[in-house]
Amino acid sequence: MDIDEKLIVGYAPLASFLTEAGFQISKSTVSKYCSPAINIGPPVEGYWGRLPAFKPSQAIAWARARLKPVGAVRTRSRPEQVEARS
């Protein structure tokens, strides 16, 4: 671990850190992703008491990995209006 990299302890600080970095996410979503049942959240470095601790660099890498490619997101087109028959 890089000695200069301060750990982020807890879900709320992690959510704030990621939101400030441009990846808008809530505390509840982070805690859900990190729960053992889901387990798709950023890697936990360790625990400070009962609170998980995260490395900022790994949290940013996790958030970047969740980005979708440009072509993967489609815009919704309006359904064509059906002309009423007379």
Question: What are the pLDDT digits (tens) for 28-75?
Answer: 999 999 998 999 999 999 999 999 999 999 999 999 999 988 876 666
pLDDT of residue 80: 61
* Residue position matching structure tokens 């879900």: 11
DSSP 19-75: HHTT----HHHHHHHHSTTT--SPPP-EEETTEEEE-HHHHHHHHHHTPPPGGGPPP
- Report pLDDT digits (tens) over 5-28: 899 999 999 999 999 999 999 999
Q: What is the DSSP letter of 15?
A: H
Distance in angstroms (rounded) separating the CA atoms of residues 34 and 86: 58
The pTM assigned to this predicted structure is: 0.76
